[in-house]
Structure 1
Amino acid sequence: MRKISWIFALLLIVSCKKEKVDYVTLKGTIKTPNLEKITIGNRTYSKEIIIQKDGTFSDTLKVTDGIHLISNGKDRTTLYLKNGYNLNLKFKGEKFSEGVSFEGVGSETNTFLDNKRSFYLSEMGNPKTYFELEKEAYEAKVIEAKTTLQDLRDKAINLDSVIRSMDSRNDKSFFNYIAANYETNHKNLVRFAKGKKSPVFKNYENFKGGTTSLSDLKGKYVYIDVWATWCAPCKAEIPYLKDLEKEFHGKNIEFVSISVDKSNAHENWEKMVKTKNLKGIQLYADNNFDSDFIVEYGINSIPRFILIDPEGNIIDSNADRPSNPKLKELLIELGI
């Protein structure tokens, strides 16, 4: 009898053991008005989730563990999803990029990711913030940034090990990049400080015919995009640049794209300008990366953006990308 009771108790324990959940439960509240659906996905997975009229949503997803995008068109933010997570998302503003607060299983890892996203969108995540500083202030700023990031890691006690490892590598790459490029970029920022006369380009081939020089644009603000047809990050900025050009079209600013493709890629350049319906002034540098204008600005990586005032003076020799909302804010602030 005692043996039977023991077996019964064992069976009871086994039957009460928590069943492993092989899916993600996702729910939340969105502040974006009139939004009907959002998309969750990565390179191998995509699912649309319907948004109710009150802004709430709820669904289950069977995923491969990893980083996913939650998006509404171009407005997006990242999530780390893992089967077994049960997350409640509360968006902080109407735009996804304004951040999300999380509750439930998986919230600590995702809160950490949102905090890291905020860091890298802030001035402390912008290499130019460090390059502008003199040596002593630069070193102090690096220490401050590393301390801030370490505090975020220390607070995320139960951070997923995959994210912890990936995050450590990313931060190391960020600070290695700053250390390796500080001297050159600091000199360039001093040399090309705001208010100094900009180097000029002369007689660059214009896609629409003839040639164009910087002097032809005197009297207007000039936003220059240095790019190439083979550059993936350059091409990723194209939709944002087109939107910006459309919004400021007819105002006192010219959007100039300068291709540094080699001569044997000239046909590729023409084809891309035509098929992508690229706007603004599309120019072809006279000698790719060895063009005088490119060399004088010390440009050795692209995309690179430069903002010049109507008198040909530098406003920003390493301006924000079109995808960064701060650029539009600056153009409005300038009264364009």
Structure 2
Amino acid sequence: MNKMHKISIILILLILTSCKSNPKEEYAIIKGNITNGEDIEKIYLTNNDRDFKYEINLLEDGSFRDTLTIEPGMYSMSIESRKSTQIVFSKGDDLTIIMDANYFKDSLKFEGQGSNENILLQTINKKIIDWEQKKSEAYSLGEGDYKNLLSERQKELTALLYGKQELNPLFVDFMKRHIDYWKFYGLTYYQVYHRYYTKNPEFTISSDFLDGARALDFYREVDYKASEYYYRLVMSEQIKRADSIEKSGVSNKTLARLKASAGFQSDYIKNDLLLQTIMGSLAFDNEFTSSFDAYMQLSTNPDHKAKVLKQFNEVKSLEKGNLSPKFVNYENYNGGLSSLDDFKGKYVYIDVWATWCGPCKAEIPYLQDVEKTYHDNDKIAFVSISVDKEKDHEKWKAMVKDKEMSGYQLIADNSFKSDFIDSYKVKGIPQFILIDPNGNIVNRSAPRPSSPRLIELLNDLDI
């Protein structure tokens, strides 16, 4: 064996040994403990991608440990629907999180590799939340003063990234962009909020007010997933482009938004915008087949397309003009049973509600006003269907009486699992449905009583 050959073998061995002793870590470790979380079984990590949810299981003593191989970055960490905070991690982190379920955000403690970044993230978020509490003062300022205030706050947040603590350079780079997006978001929505807080609906920003925000690009997939402000800015851009497309002759709002979505450079962002737009259409629009066809041509994500096809097949019978699903023998507050067929020959405006639903109760006075307006009109019947559970049956009767609710007051036979409610794919309430005298769907997501559009719709139908 010659000398050069021996040297080559030694170098290879050194490289292999080096790789073995210093492996490139492709994961992060997250562990910790939750106190007072007896009913909590999982921790959830989500981002702005609505299809993404990562679950971390809790042991009986409230401890948890997981090896994260998901994409590093910023995530929303939640233990219950209303208890969430943002965390961030990088490859190689070994992060410990301690929390009390009863005092979630105030109790958070971070230790180990990755703790500096998360402590700083909480500090930045708290400052932004504190400023949000005083947004009426900020948005009431004139253009120059508001811009100066935003710039001062941007500098204050950015300065925190260059303190004495050691931080991951990737985290610093991302947070600099995230803070910029926060500022751009404040500039973009200044006109809307200034009009609201100063009660000056005619106010219009100067032509150069948004010059700084106009330089923003819209193809950063990582930022779209992680930064709520970048995500909102992309949504705002989508709506702006859709408005322009509508003005050019595309009258259908959903089609305009689909076309606008297709114009984004990033396939990921484009497909996500397309998905959100079509799923919203399939949930609320009255005519959506043309939108569905357009979506299937524009999307390049096969998983999304399969999801949309499944949803379309579930709701296609709910398009305007199709025969409405029927409710049969629902208990009537005034006695007896009532079915949809009892109202044949009349338009039927249905309010799906429940005693525990705040927005539902807020609509009751408006519905009563509409009912009074049409009290002597035999062309329309107003039917309220409660989806309260059986255990709240008496509560339903008491509220109907206390609020002097008029019209036909019915209660569904099996809450949200009732055939009629399930057929209409009711997921959230209140939901209002309008059916014509022949039992066909006019609008499966009709305007609320509080909206002037309801009276406009009824007038258009010559009711």
Matched length: 226
Shift of 1:247: 1.6
Larger RCO, structure (CA 8 Å, separation 6 or more): 1
The equivalent residue for 2:355 is 229
The aligned counterpart of 2:257 is: 141
Q: CA separation in 2, counterparts of 1:271 and 1:100?
A: 46
1:315 alignment partner AA: V
Task: Give the corresponding residue for 2:344.
Answer: 218
Residues 352, 430 of structure 2: 8 Å contact kept: yes
Give the whole-Å Cα distance in 2 for the aligned partners of 1:98 and 1:253. Answer: 39
- Provide the C-alpha distance between the structure 1 equivalents of 2:439 and 2:140, rounded to a whole number of angstroms: 58
Q: Distance in 2 between matches of 1:281 and 1:213?
A: 11
**Which residue, 313, 316, 329 being the options, matches 1:203?**
329
Please give the alpha-carbon distance, in whole angstroms, between the structure 2 residues aligned to 1:234 and 1:100. Answer: 32
Identify, as 1 or 2, the structure richer in helix: 2
Structure 1 segment 57-206 matched on structure 2, within 5 A: 66=132, 80-82=136-138, 85=141, 99-101=201-203, 130=254, 137=255, 141-142=257-258, 144=260, 178=280, 186-206=312-332
Shift of 1:290: 1.5
Structure 1 residues 295-334: Cα deviation after superposition (integer angstroms, max 9, x where no partner) = 2222232222111011111111222222222221110000
What is the aligned partner in structure 1 of residue 457 from structure 2? 330
Partner of residue 33, structure 1: none
Question: Residues 176 and 186 from structure 1, CA distance in 2 versus in 1: closer, same or farther, beyond 3 angstroms?
Answer: closer
Give, in whole Å, the separation in 1 of the partners of 2:357 and 2:262: 31
Seen in structure 2, the aligned counterparts of structure 1 residues 129 and 284 have a Cα distance that, compared at 3 Å, is farther
2:124 corresponds in structure 1 to: none
Which stretches in structure 2 are left out of the alignment for 5+ residues?
Answer: 1-129, 144-190, 192-197, 211-235, 247-251, 265-272, 281-303
Letter in 2 for 1:85: L
Query: How far does residue 294 in structure 1 lie from its aligned partner after superposition?
Result: 1.3
- Checking the alignment, whether the CA contact within 8 Å between 1:262 and 1:288 is kept in structure 2 is yes
Q: Which has the larger radius of gyration?
A: 2
Distance, in Å, in 2 between the alignment partners of 1:287 and 1:129 is: 36
- 3-state secondary structure, aligned to 2:203: strand
Map Cα deviations across residues 18-54 of structure 1 (whole Å, 9 max, x no partner).
xxxxxxxxxxxxxxxxxxxxxxxxxxxxxxxxxxxxx
The 8 Å contact of residues 65 and 81 in structure 1, kept in 2 or not, is answered as no
Q: Which runs of 5+ in 1 are unaligned?
A: 1-63, 69-78, 90-95, 109-115, 131-136, 149-170
| Secondary structure of 1:273 counterpart | helix
> How many angstroms does 1:264 deviate by?
0.0
CA contact (8 A) 2:353 2:387 kept: yes
Task: Report the residue type matching 2:431 in the other structure.
Answer: R
> What is the aligned partner in structure 2 of residue 153 from structure 1?
none
Letter matched to residue 360 of structure 2: C
Whether the 8 Å CA contact 2:257–2:277 is kept in 1: the answer is: no
CA RMSD of aligned residues (A): 4.9
Q: CA deviation at 1:183?
A: 5.2
Aligned mates of 1:193, 1:98 — CA distance in 2: 40
More strand by share: 1
Q: Report the CA distance shift for 1:84/1:253 in structure 2 as closer, same or farther (over 3 A).
A: closer
**Preserved CA contact (<8 Å) 2:348 2:382:** yes
Q: 1: distance between equivalents of 2:199 and 2:349?
A: 25
Percent identity, aligned pairs only? 44
Deviations 1:86-115 (A, max 9, x none): 59x9xxxxxx999442579xx98xxxxxxx
Give the match for residue 427 of structure 2: 300
**TM norm structure 1:** 0.53
